[in-house]
Amino acid sequence: MENPVCRLLGTRYPLIQAGMIWCSGWELASAVSNAGGFGVIGSGSMNADILKIHIDKTRASTNSPFGINIHLLYSHAGEIMQLVMKENIPVVITSAGNPAGYTQKLRDKGIKVIHVVSSVRFAEKAEKAGVDAIVCEGFEAGGHNGIEETTSFALIPDVRRSVSLPLIAAGGIASGRGMLAAMALGADGAQIGTRFAASLESSAHINFKERILQLKEGDTRLYLRKVGPVRMIRNAFALELEAAENSGASAEELIRILGNGKPRKGIFEGKLEEGELEIGQIASLLNEIKPAAKIVEEIIKEYTEAKKNLADAKYSF
């Protein structure tokens, strides 16, 4: 375990499956962990009771380490924090909000804390708050996104030189080549969402998974800049947001259009035009729904081959 992310997580590969609303329950998390990656239950669509069921089922399905992702601004974040401390979950990945409030409490219980950021400023804040590692997430990532719109090419090296913690890159990575590029830019590991959202074990609706496979460049966009940016598929709902934004809609008006439960409707219920279909730009590369274990295997294989290929004469000058 020479890799700092593997050492921190106790995994074979420095490859984290992103916690994703309505996609990443126990089936996906345990499948990724069993395959040598780090599976994550996304708690953003769960209350503590539901999460407890997912924790128990994950533990019954794998002996490998796994984590819980907690969106700090989520209404159930408080009860979920209580649960992960009681359950002694080895690793918690926090996103949004300020990690200072919970980090020390979690660490006092022996729980490792990884915080997701979209900027150098928040990476430095997280390091000061005492987290164990950083995920830096670029503009190309699906779902909630940073206001600075910094892409992975610019963000990874900037965060790398600013903090000394293990650094996991996210946003735009769905393949071994992507993982290698992240490492070249200074990351120690990769977090992958989009590709696992379209895996067999993802709890997303089959309609959503099949829609992901059809996406081409430009089919996802960043919306809701005035409220809190979100990348999603450009479906009927998104075009409604787009029209409103183009004509100068206020945050209040956008929140009204957003309404409630749109991600559930789209991702979990498969209503492809009404729902909010959060997914990353890199979806354009995907063309098949595969088991998570196969995805992990393919990514690591491609990573290793791509690294070997860089020894070719065409890359030396």
Closer by beta carbon to its own copies, 178 or else 263: 178
Q: Compute the 3-state secondary structure of the chain and give helix, strand, coil in percent, each to the nearest 5.
A: 45, 15, 40
Closer by beta carbon to its own copies, 4 or else 270: 4
By the criterion CB under 8 A, which residues form the site for its own copies?
Answer: 2-4, 6, 12-14, 119-121, 138-140, 147-155, 157-158, 161, 171-173, 175, 177-178, 180-186, 188, 216-218, 221-222, 226, 246-249, 280-282, 284-285, 300, 304, 306-307, 310, 312-317
Residue 275 CB, nearest distance to its own copies (Å)?
A: 22
Answer for the pair 267, 130: CB distance below 8 angstroms, yes or no.
no
Closer by beta carbon to its own copies, 52 or else 226: 226
Closer by beta carbon to its own copies, 7 or else 86: 7
Residue 248 CB, nearest distance to its own copies (Å)?
A: 3
Which DSSP string corresponds to 249-317?
Answer: --HHHHHHHH-SSHHIIIIIT--TTTS--B--GGGGG------HHHHHHHHHHHHHHHHHHTTSGGG--
Nearest to 68 by CA among 99, 31, 38: 38
Closer by beta carbon to its own copies, 63 or else 246: 246
Closer by beta carbon to its own copies, 123 or else 129: 123
Nearest to 175 by CA among 157, 153, 190: 190
Closer by beta carbon to its own copies, 154 or else 293: 154
H/E stretch holding 220: strand 220-223
- Estimate to the nearest angstrom the gap between the alpha carbon of 202 and the chain centroid: 13
Q: How many other CB atoms are found less than 10 A from the CB of residue 201?
A: 22
Order the strands of the 112-117 sheet from edge to edge: 15-17, 189-192, 167-170, 133-137, 112-117, 91-95, 66-71, 39-42
The packing angle between helices 152-162 and 120-129, to 10°, is 40
Residue 185 CB, nearest distance to its own copies (Å)?
A: 5
